[in-house]
Amino acid sequence: MDAFILLGSFILLILLGMPVAYALGLSALIGAWWIDIPLQAMMIQVAAGVNKFSLLAIPFFVLAGAIMAEGGMSRRLVAFAGVLVGFVRGGLSLVNIMASTFFGAISGSSVADTASVGSVLIPEMERKGYPRDFSTAVTVSGSVQALLTPPSHNSVLYSLAAGGTVSIASLFMAGVMPGLLLSAVMMVLCLIFAKKRNYPKGEVIPLRQALKIAGEALWGLMAMVIILGGILSGVFTATESAAIAVVWSFFVTMFIYRDYKWRDLPKLMHRTVRTISIVMILIAFAASFGYVMTLMQIPAKITTMFLTLSDNRYVILMCINVMLLLLGTVMDMAPLILILTPILMPVIVDIGVDPVHFGMIMLVNLGIGLITPPVGAVLFVGSAVGKVSIESTVKALLPFYAALFAVLMAVTYIPAISLWLPSVVL
């Protein structure tokens, strides 16, 4: 009955149209009232939920990504990707995927990736003879990489939701190989389409021009080197690397590229603060929700339920995958990470799955949800940027869904894809 009161009130509030953050907070209060928890205890949990040093990584990485997205860095990364792979048949679709790889490894945001890379490449791909819906589908599916590769904001959220027992550095390293695997699978699929549909070849860029493009893009790529190099060498923590990323992106944008106007900075800061405030409210209320869940012993009950279904680790992982895929289509990624991680963590520990490995499983699952209707935020952004209907984009995405599912199965059942790199470098 306790679980019904807590989860039922949350679902009812969501169905009534209340924002997820406030639905979490209000349902937590209802649950606390039901089991007779003092209001003061709930307020302490709300405050404690955002009183964590590691959380500073989120606003800093969001700000760094915003500066990079609007400061001309995405355009230069697209040009650099064109130098590397733009000359083959279907080269622009490969450029799209590779540009997402580069930009995602700097911004850590799928939405920023889709908006930045898509605004540059979707019109260009259409001009070169690619269907606009296909161009949009490539952009949207390729941006899922940003959720996996460092500096992923969602890895920070997962670490927080896991109670700080999983290090952010381990999650950052664990995301590199799955991200590269996703990029490789997407590129192979694009090459198959290019040959089948006879998409155009790009031109080989002259050496002198290629070196100039590479030199300009190097400033942006250095952000990735600084972030990962600093963390791996122990010079600074993952949280401190976020602040350094802001300083570096600001320096490159305002003093090297100089495409961005100083008078536009206050507007950029305002948009970033609005985004961060929503995330922080969500984290605060999710902490109180998780506190009530723990008191009601909901995670333990769900663990028992999964273990009664089967004692086979692979069967349980498949059940969890199906659940995450379904939930990812109807709710945004951040609240699902904050809600489900405390519930599922006892399950995966009991069946012997490494929490770092499970973090990658969860991110791939919920990343697919972000590009799937009816509540796919990245899908909506991509369709808006590409000026294509949701229906057309989803239809063009069907083969990409299959490729993403194949990547999900590989990440789920081959732990070494996620765990090999952290074991080597950390």
Q: What is the pLDDT of residues 34-73, one digit of tens each?
A: 888 888 888 888 888 788 777 788 888 888 878 877 777 7
The alpha carbon of residue 202 and the mean position of all alpha carbons in its chain are separated, in whole angstroms, by: 30
pLDDT at 330: 76
pLDDT at 141: 92
Number of domains in the chain: 1
**CA-angle at 133, arms to 132 and 134, nearest 5°:** 90
Identify the CA nearest to 103 among candidates 121, 130, 89, 87.
121
> In the chain, which stretches have pLDDT less than 50?
none
Burial of 210 (0-12, 13-18, 19+ CB in 10 A): middle
pLDDT at 214: 86
- Segments forming the whole domain that contains residue 306: 2-425
The residue with tokens 């520990």 is 349
DSSP character at residue 278? H
Q: How far apart are CA 398 and CA 419, in angstroms?
A: 30
DSSP character at residue 255? I
pLDDT at 113: 80
User: Residues for the chain: how many in total?
Assistant: 426
CA atoms within 13 A on the CB side of 47: 6
pLDDT at 398: 93
Q: Phi/psi at 177 (nearest 5 deg)?
A: -65, -45
